Structure 1
């Protein structure tokens, strides 16, 4: 298989490499969202795997078995988040030895308590679950708190590994992580000129499914295998996480290309290179504090400023903000971002309560929006 084919295969079956690692006698630690330091997991000798959602495979096990964070009739859990909880309760990912649940949006962080409830109240054999707390305030107290959280995770991983984690192993994991992030940045920078937006998102998905060194190697080889997109409007995409290419391919069928985004499955994976000239744990702790989990920054104006800067750097012609159904976090903050983009002179479409897979209504709205852009 070519490098491109291998990356596409990893994106299509994101658990395959972790499953093979487990079958060969290794251990797998899964995590939710993009603000868990995978370098720490790798240095502990485990395979770091970010879990994808699978709404089409939902069994609603969580709703049947445990008391969720919200009553079922008013739950604000997007379907792709609910499906990750189902996968863990139903042991669809039975090769996972432990799960790290970080503090970010409520629907994700609630999974820590819900997995523990499934084990304690119903005797379900779920993986061991660790909660990674985080302070949001960008001050000295927040930095100290977040550093303590990383040190606590470091201790847990050492206990899990049954050995100390040498600084040399951490430093090597940081080098691999930086190489992989650099390739994500290169892939994204070529969008609109040499790479389709959907191809870029698919390759970035492989970043979360493969060891960093392997991803960097394959991505470097795959760049020459991709076909350039036809000319058309360059779009920014904001709003809810997009862990599949459905919206990207829809935009491409309508004659445009998404060249940058701000969601936790896209180019943000390239942000926050870890410095090599400080102690490895200090570098990891600093990135954990500075990196905005799931695109969330405090105060909101920091998110707005960062997203406008990303859109301008990518020379976009327009922007789309797509908010998933029941995504309360994005439903709350997106209107101010839309207003800021429009105020900056960027034509912007705001799509509310979107299904996981884009439907005919989204096609009509996006098509009309693109037709109305100045030529």
Structure 2
């Protein structure tokens, strides 16, 4: 008997448990003598962290946690996710990290970097920090800038870990991350078929952001085996657009209301699959670094770094492909970029005969009442067999 088939749901339960204690597990890895590097934002190349001999950990907010000091340092008018992450840094909860890399994929990430850099210069116990400043304009000059940034980050990582990034280690890391993305793509197929929930998909994506690729791959492969023959999930098929969801609170609320979230356009979900790099692009580390820069340069389209028309087309294409009953655009307070994308999205969605709703400037954990009001008309139509 196949052991994976003997215990359906076991891998998803493991992914759920990991999701709830991503930082704690990474701290245990560090206590066991393994090097862990934290990062904030979507533009930090995970492959480089792995190639430098470290485990990547994408930092995330903690519902209800934000220190007063973090709010004083960053100001009130900023995405509350930033308050929570900086609060963990200030509290010393992330001192086990060998370093923290921040990407410039949002103003909140950039402001966290500036504050953390000042703090690190005064408090030796804090991890060193680095800014990965990638551009996404489809220009050769921007790509050249990104190449220099990726090479610079490789040197920083070697200083943090004491291990040089070589052609061999980078090729192996690129191969592992590429295979992991391919398998996550298979998981999204199961999701569209109704065999994985949106929350379960978030858990698998997060495993890829907080484990070594080989360990994440084992978990995802187990989930694929276990869920291949499960019963299909009923419910209103929803495509989630807007603010990135680094916790599953909003998804769980929507699912409790009767929604099946079949896709999203944020970088804690499907948008991560847009990175595509070729491990065989070069025999030399410089060429592989250039390939990695190209892959992240062309990734997206994210709300804060892409043209509105480009993002609208991507979102609508994905929603149409998933066969959704509606698109929900949900944006947090002080995370306005996704809301700016909504008008062109709404226009293209209307042309595709896909209804949509915008909930803007929402609290970080959402409002169950507003979510219920947004979905109610579509849930009624689903029950009546009209969607």
- Contact persistence 2:195–2:233 (CA under 8 A): no
Corresponding residue number in structure 2 for 1:48: 56
1:332 deviates by 2.7
1:313 pairs with 2:358: no
Structure 2 unaligned blocks of 5 or more: 1-6, 283-287
1:331 pairs with 2:339: yes
Question: What's the secondary structure of 1:104's corresponding residue?
Answer: coil
- Contact persistence 2:26–2:36 (CA under 8 A): yes
- Contact persistence 2:43–2:134 (CA under 8 A): no
Corresponding residue number in structure 2 for 1:97: 98
1:236 deviates by 0.9
Query: For residues 222 and 184 of structure 1, do their structure 2 counterparts lie closer, same or farther at Cα, with a shift above 3 Å needed?
Result: same
Question: What's the secondary structure of 2:38's corresponding residue?
Answer: strand
Corresponding residue number in structure 2 for 1:23: 31
Q: Distance in 1 between matches of 2:231 and 2:79?
A: 33
Q: Distance in 2 between matches of 1:331 and 1:230?
A: 30
1:16 deviates by 3.3
Question: What's the secondary structure of 1:86's corresponding residue?
Answer: helix
Question: What's the secondary structure of 1:6's corresponding residue?
Answer: helix
Name the stretch that deviates more: 142-151 or 361-370.
361-370
Aligned-residue CA RMSD in angstroms? 2.1
Q: Distance in 1 between matches of 2:164 and 2:248?
A: 40
Alignment of 1:173-184 (within 5 A): 173-184=173-184
Q: Distance in 2 between matches of 1:50 and 1:201?
A: 13
Corresponding residue number in structure 1 for 2:152: 152
- Contact persistence 2:53–2:163 (CA under 8 A): no
Structure 1 unaligned blocks of 5 or more: none
Q: Distance in 2 between matches of 1:293 and 1:320?
A: 18
Corresponding residue number in structure 2 for 1:116: 117
Corresponding residue number in structure 1 for 2:380: 371
Corresponding residue number in structure 1 for 2:13: 5
Q: Distance in 2 between matches of 1:158 and 1:116?
A: 19
Give the one of 263, 273, 278 matched to 1:275.
278
Question: What's the secondary structure of 1:353's corresponding residue?
Answer: strand
- Contact persistence 1:297–1:303 (CA under 8 A): no
Q: TM-score, normalised by structure 1?
A: 0.91
- Contact persistence 2:48–2:170 (CA under 8 A): yes
Query: For residues 262 and 228 of structure 1, do their structure 2 counterparts lie closer, same or farther at Cα, with a shift above 3 Å needed?
Result: farther
Question: What's the secondary structure of 1:57's corresponding residue?
Answer: coil
Corresponding residue number in structure 1 for 2:220: 219
Query: For residues 242 and 168 of structure 1, do their structure 2 counterparts lie closer, same or farther at Cα, with a shift above 3 Å needed?
Result: same
